[in-house]
Structure 1
């Protein structure tokens, strides 16, 4: 399978160089390949000349688009899509560093099922995390301790690591890190170029793709690191977001789209409520509107220590009657992705190796609702060890 990594650039000469360096250390399966498509949105800092002098172990396609009044992120990304040749297009912002398994993790989902909408995640680097001019193999280990998770990690802890358990996953379809089958993107009409300035063209695409039958998959292992730069959330960005929000609603005059105005309390510098609080309210309001009651009923809990063939069948069978909480204790399996493919009347709430504190908090929440069934998939030998017995 081939991936086309599409990156936008605008006057980010050194940053884009670091981004490309991180992509040169990707680990992919034998037979897979990738290219990088850079769309330069009118840079004037020598970005093109710098890229022309670089040599990497992957092909780079570079397109310079003169900046005009009609320039937009949507138009630039569409140029990248139409000039890509991969089976899958992976979107990455130029101010991100790709973790060494970044492309592998995106392709892993697309190999398991065609047509999924894959949402990757990011961590934020501190101002003094690392020297961008010298990335060495294993560089990720040097920055983990000085980075923090984006807010969507908190949402997964609060709700689920299963994208289909969110009623508003389409809003989380951030263009800094997601992937889609290229033909599906083209058939959808790609990004709407009516969006100008910053914000929401990616969420609108996610909303449209979902309406056309697309299903979201969260993959927190498809990870990037956001290079530090000063925050730009000022009144200008607020007004730009609101303009795009109004345009979004004109395209899709529905309750769930309108409910996004809750998030304005974050973007408005005169209010500046936390994004986390705003988003939780947004998700819960949409859930109530859509009439889903599964999160008010008792649940079944399935703990998986060993990935056995009957695990998925057991999860799907329980999801016919009630929500299922899956606690995945395995170290290496595709359960994190396969659980998200289960389609049934009730949600599958998936958690991969939660910490002890997160597990305690989770069980406290479940105790309030009630646990109908608690099933453990573990080998007899492992069960005996955990019970202190010899087999």
Structure 2
């Protein structure tokens, strides 16, 4: 099973650098890391070219023009480009604990997708993590919310991973699917732009298609770097798309993943330099 990590980013290269450093230090490396970029300025590309010089896994950069928040499109492009059998979705402000990839492999099951958790940080802890290149706070660290999510307890994690179809707590910042399941439901719905709910809508279609959800607690840990959020947006038009999907029991979206197959009929290039063959 080859694991592709799809990291979505937008104009925060300092955070992205820490995210990519954490993925490079995994106890089990992914097959590839695809940074899918929703229109960042050149500093992000410059960062990736610098890290690619000695990155330990295939590293890809996909960029699309900045035309508002188009997270669904960005993620779909990464899924279409992925060479792995299994896709781990990760936000560009989510710093993975060193067993993150190995844990996701351990909890992958056919017929299911995986919903991971996150440690929340305050502004001061985020500043310290970025300044000192810290990848995982401890249980007693200052500035932590959801402190239990700092604990790596794989045996206990198995108890939480019983399959369900609950919609509460769906978040694509730490989520994983078999690639062929994403193809079956046509990925994220690109009719949804702006902040949020595209992950819930995808999960609803996955449930309608017969997939189950496995929650991973105490494993596949990641720390969310603090930033201001639009979580409490009132009258979000994306909520109406979710409701329509529920009422019509849709399994596929019209504007989805299949729009990008032609673009990635050939895999996008690895940013790492080609080894010198000598001679």
TM range (shorter): 0.7 to 0.9
Q: Which has the larger radius of gyration?
A: 1
Is this contact kept in 2: 1:22–1:135, CA < 8 A? no
Task: Report the counterpart of residue 108 of structure 1 in structure 2.
Answer: 106
Moved more, 83-92 or 38-47: 38-47
> In the TM superposition, what is the alpha-carbon distance from 1:46 to its structure 2 partner?
1.3
TM-score by length of 1: 0.55
CA distance in 1, matches of 2:116, 2:190: 23
Equivalent residue in structure 2 for 1:81, among 79, 82, 89: 79
Alignment of 1:1-391 (within 5 A): 1-28=1-28, 33-44=30-41, 46-54=43-51, 55-68=54-67, 72-110=70-108, 113-129=109-125, 130-135=128-133, 139-140=135-136, 142=138, 145-146=141-142, 147-149=144-146, 161-165=160-164, 167-168=165-166, 170-220=167-217, 221-233=219-231, 237-239=233-235, 242-253=236-247
For residues 101-148 of structure 1, the C-alpha deviation after alignment (integer angstroms, 9 at most, x for no partner) is: 1111111112xx323211111011222223314436xx5355752322
Cα separation, partners in 2 of 1:78 and 1:161, compared to 1, 3 Å = same
Instruction: State the superposition RMSD in angstroms.
Output: 2.5
> In the TM superposition, what is the alpha-carbon distance from 1:229 to its structure 2 partner?
1.7
Cα separation, partners in 2 of 1:14 and 1:75, compared to 1, 3 Å = same
Higher helix content, 1 or 2? 1
> In the TM superposition, what is the alpha-carbon distance from 1:152 to its structure 2 partner?
9.7
> In the TM superposition, what is the alpha-carbon distance from 1:246 to its structure 2 partner?
1.1
CA distance in 1, matches of 2:148, 2:190: 28
Q: How many corresponding residue pairs?
A: 235
> In the TM superposition, what is the alpha-carbon distance from 1:232 to its structure 2 partner?
3.6
Is this contact kept in 2: 1:171–1:207, CA < 8 A? no
* Secondary structure of 1:19's aligned partner: helix
Cα separation, partners in 2 of 1:163 and 1:206, compared to 1, 3 Å = farther
Is this contact kept in 2: 1:13–1:45, CA < 8 A? no
Is this contact kept in 2: 1:115–1:180, CA < 8 A? no
> In the TM superposition, what is the alpha-carbon distance from 1:27 to its structure 2 partner?
1.0
Task: Report the counterpart of residue 253 of structure 2 in structure 1.
Answer: none
TM-score by length of 2: 0.76
CA distance in 2, matches of 1:74, 1:43: 16
> In the TM superposition, what is the alpha-carbon distance from 1:172 to its structure 2 partner?
2.7
Cα separation, partners in 2 of 1:171 and 1:75, compared to 1, 3 Å = farther
> In the TM superposition, what is the alpha-carbon distance from 1:33 to its structure 2 partner?
4.0
CA distance in 2, matches of 1:228, 1:121: 15
Ranked by relative contact order (alpha carbons within 8 Å, sequence separation 6 or more), the top structure is 2
Task: Report the counterpart of residue 377 of structure 1 in structure 2.
Answer: none
Is this contact kept in 1: 2:19–2:93, CA < 8 A? yes
Is this contact kept in 1: 2:111–2:210, CA < 8 A? no
> In the TM superposition, what is the alpha-carbon distance from 1:25 to its structure 2 partner?
1.2
* Secondary structure of 1:222's aligned partner: coil
